[in-house]
Amino acid sequence: MKKRVLAALLVGAMVTGLLAGCGSSSGDEGSSDGTSGSITVWYHDYSFEDSLVEVIDAFNEEYPDIEVNYEIRADGDYYSLLSTAIQSGDGPDLFWTNGTATVNMPDYVENGALVDLTDDVDFSLFDEDTMALSEVDGRYYSVPWLTLDTRTVYYNKDMFEEHGWEVPKTFSEFEDLLAEIKGEGITPISMALESWSLLFGFEPLLAGYDPEYSAKLQDYTDITATDQPVRDCMQLMVDWADAGYFGDNWQGVIDNASQILAFTSGNAAMNIAGSWDAATISSNNPDLNYGAFAIPSEDGTCGLVGTASNGLSVSSASDNVEAAVTFANFCATQEAQTIWVQSQGAVPATDTIEASTEIAQEIADSGQGNQYRSWQNVLSSYSSTGNASTVWGDDFTKIFTGEMTVDELCDEIQNEM
């Protein structure tokens, strides 16, 4: 009998021990007097790690008593990890979201997972367009970064020089250039058969194709998201794809990484992609001599499509909200913004910060000071059903594979607006 009791106790001890090991580790998060303690920050990609470290270092010079830890959760399922962590009460104190560009942040707001920062953070650095990223029902829930996430045409300078090609000044010059490059047996533009890659090609194309329409996207009045310019421009892009301007077998390129590789390895003369890809291009091939231009309109005006990017939100489940808000407030300062933009090598979304790399400066200059709203952003902001952007994401590739016509896609999107 004694043995049995002992065995039961042992089993019990084992089980509880193991369970405790598996359970949530609710560490002490420091004192709650606000100016001290430790907070944890989550970011979604390693490309932001260095910038985050620099911002934290600068923060600690001012607030040495607050210890800021960070974790990069680049596992692909960032949002599901985040939701699970928040749900279990074990989440970070501050974390990145895509702001209002995706439904995740508004979803968190609806579920009371975020702290309302409207009155606690000084947002004076940011203009209205930038704050749209952070705004849900008139209140602000995140601190944006003044990096302009725009799209640009990267071109291989050496290749252009060798063949005597010139950076185009008008839209028809651009079209002629593509035909000429193709004629010499080189892939004019590297592209991937993936919704976002195609979008980052389509949006600057639309800006050059019809700058007037692009400018109207800002307020989204008098126009719809699928007006004739959009349809024509999409059709033009499909025609270009069929003409082999993206390469003969480009449909086998399904991710951004190999899209970039075709450009950095010298197989393609140009690559239309996000401004944030500049760092990857340079690290892929440090010897590549490349520049950037914006697709010009017929009368020569250029513009950049894109918005500032979103940054950190404060979790309402934080054990140390005060310290977390202090950090958020620091992120909104000129000092932190400058550190972030320059360490990212990003295109600054404001005149008060200088670009730290040549290519970023070149991209910034190529816009001639014009800035357009992203077409996809209109889909996600003004969809009556909330599904327009999802429909686009699911079906955009289908117009290039011939499963759908441009009109079918546009009608489908319009149904959700």
Largest Cα span, the chain: 96
User: Residue 60 or residue 83: which is nearer to other proteins going by CB?
Assistant: 83
Quote the least distance from Cβ 97 to other proteins, whole Å. 13
Whole-angstrom distance, CA of residue 51 vs CA of residue 395: 35
Residues near other proteins (CB under 8 A): 4, 7-8, 11, 14-15, 18-19, 77, 79-80, 83-84, 86-87, 102-104, 107-108, 110-113, 190, 193-195, 247-255, 258-259, 261-262, 265, 267-268, 380, 385-387, 389-391, 393-394, 397-398, 401, 403
Residue 196's Cα: distance from chain center in Å? Answer: 10
**Are the C-beta atoms of residues 168 and 179 closer than 8 Å to each other?**
no
Of residues 363 and 391, the one with the C-beta less far from other proteins = 391
User: In this complex, which beta carbon is closest to other proteins, that of residue 363 or of residue 379?
Assistant: 379
* CA 123 to mean position of chain CA atoms: 21
Minimal distance in Å, beta carbon 380 to other proteins?
Answer: 8
Shortest Cβ 218–other proteins spacing (Å): 23
C-alpha 208/C-alpha 301 separation (Å) is 8
Q: For residues 207 and 261, which CB has a smaller minimum distance to other proteins in the complex?
A: 261
Q: How far is the CB of 403 from other proteins (least distance, A)?
A: 6
Q: How far is the CB of 266 from other proteins (least distance, A)?
A: 11
Query: Shortest Cβ distance from residue 343 to other proteins (Å)?
Result: 29
Smaller CB separation from other proteins, 136 or 331: 136
* Residue nearer to other proteins on the CB measure, 13 or 53: 13
Rounded distance, CA 26 to CA 267, Å?
Answer: 53
Q: Closest approach of Cβ 393 to other proteins, in Å? A: 5
Cβ at position 211, least distance to other proteins in Å: 29
Nearest to other proteins of 2, 4 (CB atom): 4
Closest to other proteins by CB, 6 or 179? 6
